[in-house]
Structure 1
């Protein structure tokens, strides 16, 4: 698999799980602006890979610093919209990790993705956990890689409303055109969206024990999870790491193949993933029926306890 990340707290949890899992063969990591700016994303990614004990020859590349068409979105008139209120000012909850001497691949992310896919002996699963700008650029620039992609398992979208707006989830909202390209690329896609994202949770007791661990990956995971437990919360979601768990154990997800469109034009709904759950008989009068939407495997349910156990056990292993 290859991860595409905008490393904030939950991307960090996903990186820890992907590196530590013996069930996965992580071939590379690409970075994109999202939760924080690209420079901070790269810095955070390298530091987390060190904590996870990733091999030094694991290639890591920097990619897109902004969406395909939009300027970086504005949360306030004078502030770039990242997700610092969720991930901390540095994107990594203020956890004091040492600077990394790990080398950054000289290739842009899109070229690294191309080279890894075309050079692989078997198809690779792509796991975008961020705005999908890098993946869209890859698919449009190098369409010859599509047969080498086994599946795209993405964290993004939602059936029942968003988080950054009432309609749109953050990763899709941050670059809707990129998401539309990825959904419509003709590659098998699993949408691990908000409908399952918040369900896989680690308890405060488990997180506290992890934070006190001598295992660097467990200690970092525990610190990040405790950061997410605000107020009287007694648990925190593993977020993006759930999408990695879905690659490890796909049968822990309940999915349905459904048509999905990304809304590009709506004033209040731009970035929404419109998941069509109507019966076929209800579509007779649809004026868009001549232009069918891409069919995506949409996650509607998750074995939350199983995925949480996979995360805790894997990341805590020395």
Structure 2
């Protein structure tokens, strides 16, 4: 089975790990990469996407998207990902260029001209997707599903309740969550517990040029504890290929767009206010299987 996908991202260390697997796994047909401001400015996230496409010698188009959230001010995460977004490895300047058109227009055209609905994986703020759904609602039947890294039911990493990607553009996240399109949310409930262990990272470092690159950027990620490094976005690709390794449950999820809880994703866990659901929320992941899979991805597909 071949999974035909589009990735909207803000590389970013963890986005870079996800893109590396999506670019090289033989079961995945990555047809477009769009970038957005988030971890760092969009000029940098676009450059990083181009660097990875060139690193793996793939012919995947890249289009630059939104420079800022729909309504709120951008707060980046360069303190986590470094000034470039993927500090720790010298990629050099990419020789390939992005599309001249904007990401939202390219996404619209790609979807409308596809002969089958496509899966969109989003690992950054959801600004491009919010604009896409608002400006071109006719694309909805061409979106098979959204697989999103973002949100949390238990805790935040920007505030006590808000996860970074949703916090960055909560108004866009609300548009995506209320779109009626099948949506899976892989948030901090999974990604903070399902980490890439230091043992896995050290093994990957020995696996050629790609392994050294991935280990080098992971080592620069400060989201690390005694169990390993939280490579949040990588779990979207793992879910695409192995959803059975996740514990999930469907809820109605709202996004808070103002006040001190801005960016919070609030689930109606008692079904007290909604008689239907809009998001499949991943609550846990098989961490051992996740680590084993990532090691095999590098060993088998990136050499």
Bin for the TM-score computed over the shorter chain: over 0.9
**Residue aligning to 2:69:** 67
Secondary structure at the counterpart of residue 16 of structure 2: helix
**How many Å apart are 1:236 and its aligned residue?**
1.8
Is the Cα–Cα contact under 8 Å of residues 197 and 291 in structure 2 kept in the other structure?
no
Equivalent-residue separation in structure 1 for 2:162 and 2:222 (angstroms): 24
**Residue aligning to 1:302:** 285
Q: 1:155 to 1:198 in 2, by over 3 A?
A: same
Is the Cα–Cα contact under 8 Å of residues 80 and 223 in structure 2 kept in the other structure?
no
Correspondent of 1:178 among 169, 172, 175: 172
**Residue aligning to 1:270:** 262
The answer to which of 124-133 and 298-307 deviates more is 298-307
Q: 1:205 to 1:180 in 2, by over 3 A?
A: same
Secondary structure at the counterpart of residue 144 of structure 1: helix
Equivalent-residue separation in structure 1 for 2:284 and 2:197 (angstroms): 20
Deviations 1:149-202 (A, max 9, x none): 110000000000211011100100101100000000110000000000123333
Whether 2:203 is the aligned partner of 1:209: answer yes
Correspondent of 1:84 among 78, 88, 104: 78
Is the Cα–Cα contact under 8 Å of residues 130 and 172 in structure 2 kept in the other structure?
yes
Whether 2:100 is the aligned partner of 1:106: answer yes
Secondary structure at the counterpart of residue 27 of structure 1: strand
**Residue aligning to 2:243:** 250
Secondary structure at the counterpart of residue 228 of structure 1: coil
Whether 2:301 is the aligned partner of 1:312: answer no
**Residue aligning to 1:42:** 46
**Residue aligning to 2:133:** 139
Equivalent-residue separation in structure 1 for 2:221 and 2:126 (angstroms): 24
The answer to which of 217-226 and 296-305 deviates more is 217-226
Whether 2:13 is the aligned partner of 1:20: answer no
**How many Å apart are 1:263 and its aligned residue?**
0.7
Taking structure 1 as the reference length, the TM-score comes to: 0.88
**How many Å apart are 1:313 and its aligned residue?**
1.0
Equivalent-residue separation in structure 2 for 1:233 and 1:167 (angstroms): 23
Q: 1:264 to 1:293 in 2, by over 3 A?
A: farther
Which consecutive residues of structure 1, in runs of 5 or more, have no partner in the other structure? 73-80, 284-288
Is the Cα–Cα contact under 8 Å of residues 229 and 235 in structure 1 kept in the other structure?
no
**Residue aligning to 1:195:** 189
**How many Å apart are 1:93 and its aligned residue?**
2.2
Whether 2:54 is the aligned partner of 1:53: answer no
Secondary structure at the counterpart of residue 30 of structure 2: coil
What do you get for the CA RMSD once the two structures are aligned?
1.8
The total of aligned residue pairs comes to 297
**How many Å apart are 1:231 and its aligned residue?**
8.0
Which consecutive residues of structure 2, in runs of 5 or more, have no partner in the other structure? none
Is the Cα–Cα contact under 8 Å of residues 117 and 141 in structure 2 kept in the other structure?
yes
**Residue aligning to 1:77:** none
